[in-house]
A = this chain, B = another copy of it.
Amino acid sequence: MMDEMEIVKRLKEKGYVLSMPRIAILRYVLSHRTHHTAESIYKALRQEYPNISMATVYNTLKLLSKEGVVHQIMIDENKVVYDSNTYFHPHFKCRVCGKIEDVDLPFNFQIPDELGGRKIEDFHIYLYGVCADCRKKLGI
């Protein structure tokens, strides 16, 4: 996974202007390599950058997603979550508390780059159920 300097270099080469809000968002997601939403980033950055706007957060996340710096994950039916840990891993969502977690599968998983004539460029695995904490609390 690339570090900030390499990413900044690559984005500049692509002609993007690395303005203050973009750098702030990039730096924030890279320093927390986990799941984010537009809203959570907005709230976290509003303290330091009080006049950043939601639209900028959305636009920047879309940009970073297009450039592969973060991955869009669609495990949640009502919002898009962005993951700055871009190594492939399945995601799990607890139906009780709603928490999203990374999971490791107990076996190797490989998707061919061609399937039935289609070109496969990306794939996602989402698991649903009850997380360990909620099982304990509920005794199930």
Q: Is B132 a contact of A103 with CB atoms below 8 Å?
A: no
- Taking CB atoms, residues of chain B closer than 8 Å to A123 are 90, 125-128
Q: Determine which of B92, B116, B129 lies in contact with A132 in the assembled complex, contact meaning CB atoms within 8 Å.
A: B116
User: CA of A10 to CA of B122 in the docked complex: distance in angstroms?
Assistant: 39
Q: Is A129 a contact of B122 with CB atoms below 8 Å?
A: yes
User: CA of A112 to CA of B7 in the docked complex: distance in angstroms?
Assistant: 37
Contacting residues of chain A (88-135) with chain B, CB-CB under 8 angstroms? 90, 92, 94-95, 101, 103-106, 111-112, 115-132, 135
Q: Is B132 a contact of A118 with CB atoms below 8 Å?
A: yes
**Contact A121:B128 (CB < 8 A) given known A74-B75, A77-B80:** yes
User: CA of A121 to CA of B128 in the docked complex: distance in angstroms?
Assistant: 6
Q: Which residue of B lies closest to A75 (CB)?
A: B74
Q: How many residues of A contact B (CB 8 A)?
A: 37
User: CA of A75 to CA of B140 in the docked complex: distance in angstroms?
Assistant: 30
Q: Is A121 a contact of B95 with CB atoms below 8 Å?
A: yes
Q: Is B77 a contact of A77 with CB atoms below 8 Å?
A: no
The smallest beta-carbon distance between A87 and chain B, in angstroms, is 17
List 14 contacting pairs A-B, 8 Å CB cutoff, sorted by A.
Answer: A74-B74, A74-B75, A74-B126, A90-B123, A92-B115, A103-B116, A105-B111, A105-B115, A115-B127, A120-B128, A120-B129, A122-B127, A123-B125, A123-B127
